[in-house]
Amino acid sequence: MDPSDFGKPPTHLAIIMDGNGRWAQQRMLKRIVGHQRGAETVKMVVEQASLLGIKYLTLFAFSSENWSRPVLEVRALMTLLKKYIRQETARMMRKNIRYNVIGNRSELPDDVNETLDGAIRETSGNTGMVLTLALSYGGRQEISMAAKRLTGDVLNGRLALDDITMEVFGSYLDTGGLPDPDFLIRTSGEMRISNFLLWQLAYTELYFTDINWPDFTINEFHKALNDFQSRERRFGKTSDQLNKRNSP
Ligand code: FPP
């Protein structure tokens, strides 16, 4: 699809990439093969999102809860992640994409953190799309850590109690500086948020598809983005109020 054929894309797209394991199991393959195929879908989505003018793409790549998976799967996922970042950083440079990470990085292995630091540093001057990887991420954990940091600032006098607003609280989250997502896609038929961006998704349009992540093709991606075009985002207002604001 030519970007000019396309309506206004979401400014910030968030994706829960689900169904790698089921995709593999349905084919009698090891779960990690599903993750490897999932990494190919990540490449396509990153490339398309940047081409279509999406400014922020946030991918749920590893949740706080995923640590309880079998050790071998966790290890294989960490290796895959490292390999992906190493292989893709040159392309990120060519496409002017900047890496960002949210989540509890202290739980990640040192070699993964080193690879991430290198990629973040190398792409830090890029001015195109911001690609945020949520790693060892949980929304409740993020909110409680933000509350802890904010309370620390109140106690040490850097922040006055009366100055706490939603915007100020939001700036203490890992996503401080990023706009809230406009659109969330979740693949594999599960209709849950699963502890992803709990604060930030307050007004986000949600899209669920039965397709497993490795089977999420470019056409499926465009279908989802087309669906976003048809949504009316009212933010609590009425349609009439919105139409008045939009009329000349
Ligand atoms: C959910 O599928 C997916 C994950 C837990 C990992 C996502 C990882 C990738 C897409 C590949 C690597 C990522 C990057 C950014 C290169 P699942 O295993 O929960 O599937 P299931 O619900 O069918 O078991």
Rounded distance from Cα 11 to ligand 1 centre (Å):
24
Taking the model in full, what pTM does it have? 0.94
For residues 238 and 215, which has the higher predicted lDDT (pLDDT)? 215
Tell whether the model's pLDDT for residue 236 goes beyond 90: no
Rounded distance from Cα 235 to ligand 1 centre (Å):
31
Tell whether the model's pLDDT for residue 79 goes beyond 90: yes
188-208: per-residue pLDDT in tens?
Answer: 999 999 999 999 999 999 999
How much is the pLDDT for 4? Answer: 55
How much is the pLDDT for 5? Answer: 65
How much is the pLDDT for 217? Answer: 98
Q: What is the mean pLDDT of residues 70-96?
A: 97
Our answer on whether the CB atom of 21 is closer than 6 Å to any ligand 1 atom is yes
H or E element at residue 12: strand 12-16
109-150: per-residue pLDDT in tens?
Answer: 999 999 999 999 999 999 999 999 999 999 999 999 999 999
The whole-angstrom separation of Cα 193 and Cα 156 is 35
The whole-angstrom separation of Cα 2 and Cα 49 is 12
Q: What is the mean pLDDT of residues 62-68?
A: 97
Rounded distance from Cα 159 to ligand 1 centre (Å):
39
144-159: per-residue pLDDT in tens?
Answer: 999 999 999 999 999 9
Q: What is the mean pLDDT of residues 29-49?
A: 98
Tell whether the model's pLDDT for residue 6 goes beyond 70: no
CB burial of 153-180 (b: ≥16 within 10 Å; e: otherwise) equals eeeeeebeeeeeeeeeebebbbbeebeb
Q: What is the mean pLDDT of residues 75-100?
A: 98
C-alpha to C-alpha distances, 76 to 31, 135, 142, 147, 172, nearest whole angstrom: 10, 14, 25, 33, 32
How much is the pLDDT for 91? Answer: 97
Question: Are 86 and 47 in contact, with CB atoms under 8 Å apart?
Answer: no
Tell me if residue 66 is catalytic. yes
3-state helix, strand, coil in the chain (%, to 5): 50, 15, 35
Our answer on whether the CB atom of 119 is closer than 6 Å to any ligand 1 atom is no
How much is the pLDDT for 56? Answer: 98
Question: Are 44 and 88 in contact, with CB atoms under 8 Å apart?
Answer: no
157-181: per-residue pLDDT in tens?
Answer: 999 999 999 999 999 999 999 999 9
Q: Whose C-alpha lies nearest to ligand 1, atom 22?
A: 19
Q: What is the mean pLDDT of residues 222-235?
A: 87
Our answer on whether the CB atom of 78 is closer than 6 Å to any ligand 1 atom is no
How much is the pLDDT for 3? Answer: 60
Our answer on whether the CB atom of 59 is closer than 6 Å to any ligand 1 atom is yes
Q: Is 99 helix (H, G, I), strand (E, B) or coil?
A: strand
Hey, what domains does the chain have and what are their CATH numbers? 3-138+180-246 (3.40.1180.10)
Our answer on whether the CB atom of 38 is closer than 6 Å to any ligand 1 atom is yes
Rounded distance from Cα 243 to ligand 1 centre (Å):
41
How much is the pLDDT for 241? Answer: 73
Q: What is the mean pLDDT of residues 77-98?
A: 98
How much is the pLDDT for 240? Answer: 77
Tell whether the model's pLDDT for residue 27 goes beyond 80: yes
Closest to 136 (Cα-Cα) out of 161, 184, 101? 101
Tell me if residue 110 is catalytic. no
Averaged pLDDT of the chain: 94
How much is the pLDDT for 192? Answer: 96
